[in-house]
Amino acid sequence: MVNDMAYIIIFLMPVLGLLLLLILKRINNIKRGTPIFRVLMFIVSSTAVLIEIVILVTSIYDWDLFILAGGMSAGVIFLLWAWTITLRTIRNQETKILSQSNSLRDVLVKVQEAANQLS
């Protein structure tokens, strides 16, 4: 049977996931609607669903919820670290692509100016 603590955690997980999403969004200066925000939203929501499933299975089979929560805290710390590294990598790639496109745009403008001078 599912105990009361599991119900409380299951109901709090969407709120905690949303709070974590907003904190990571603020820390990494991510704007809504961008591809990196969608990646962040997918990572946070999939992890929240995974945690809810683990808690539900734990409470159904009468495992010790507090031992599992202690072990999961280390996993959550690792996930936060992995998310931060992933977001930095995506942000760096996005910055490089934007700088390359700007340099190509400058080259095209110069070529167009040269073509206009020749004609």
* Model pLDDT for residues 104-119, shown as the tens digit of each residue: 999 999 999 988 888 7
- Contact in structure between 24 and 87 (CB atoms under 8 Å): yes
pLDDT digits (tens, 9 = 90+) for 10-49: 777 778 878 888 888 888 888 888 877 888 788 887 777 7
Q: Are 63 and 69 in contact (CB under 8 A)?
A: no
Calculate what percentage of the chain has a pLDDT beyond 70. Answer: 85
pTM comes to: 0.49
Q: Encode 79-110: b = buried (16+ Cβ within 10 Å), e = exposed.
A: beeebeeebeebeeeeeeeeeeeeeeeeeeee
Measured distance CA(69)–CA(12) in Å, rounded: 14
Q: Domain limits at 88?
A: 4-118
Per-residue model confidence (pLDDT) at position 105: 92
Q: How many domains does the chain have?
A: 1
